[in-house]
Amino acid sequence: MTSSPSGAVFVLGGARSGKSRFAESLISDTGLARHYIATGQAWDDEMRDRIAQHRADRGELWTTHEEPLDLVARLAAIDGQGKAILVDCLTLWVTNLMMAERAMAAEFSALTEFLPKAKSRLVLVSNEVGLGIVPENRMAREFRDHAGRLHQMIAAASAEVYFVAAGLPLKMKG
């Protein structure tokens, strides 16, 4: 884990809580070049439609990068002064890593180690999955556990952490 917080901002919340809209608002008025790293993959028509709608909603002020697996490499490739990078979302990234059978601990460490080195304004978004019941199957429990570990690491390495519910952000750190 990183010993000192980076300038990164971590935005956590439930599905449809308003976290992505809030995360975008943290960047919109900065005057920085806006980059959006989308980790979702279009596995079906409904997801393709969602992705297209999100892209249209953001508009032309955002440069979109689709990166389901190699998040740290993509961050490093576009990182730079005068830029803001929004990553949405870490839980989809966790799912992609699990499906690709990647080394979770190594991927998580690489991301948390990148945060303090970033020159860009970074905002990372994720779904809180630990507030519900214990999942009924092994894969779902492993997903919840991976997401929980990653969230703790990102929160520790971030300068600010927000929890969003019903469109209302609660500042938890910073």
What is the DSSP code string of 56-84?
Answer: HHH-TTEEEEE-SS-HHHHHHHH--TTEE
Instruction: Let me know: does 38 contact 64? Beta carbons within 8 Å.
Output: yes
Q: Which residues are known to be catalytic?
A: 54
* 26 CB burial (10 A radius; 0-12, 13-18, 19+): middle
- Coil, strand or helix at 142: helix
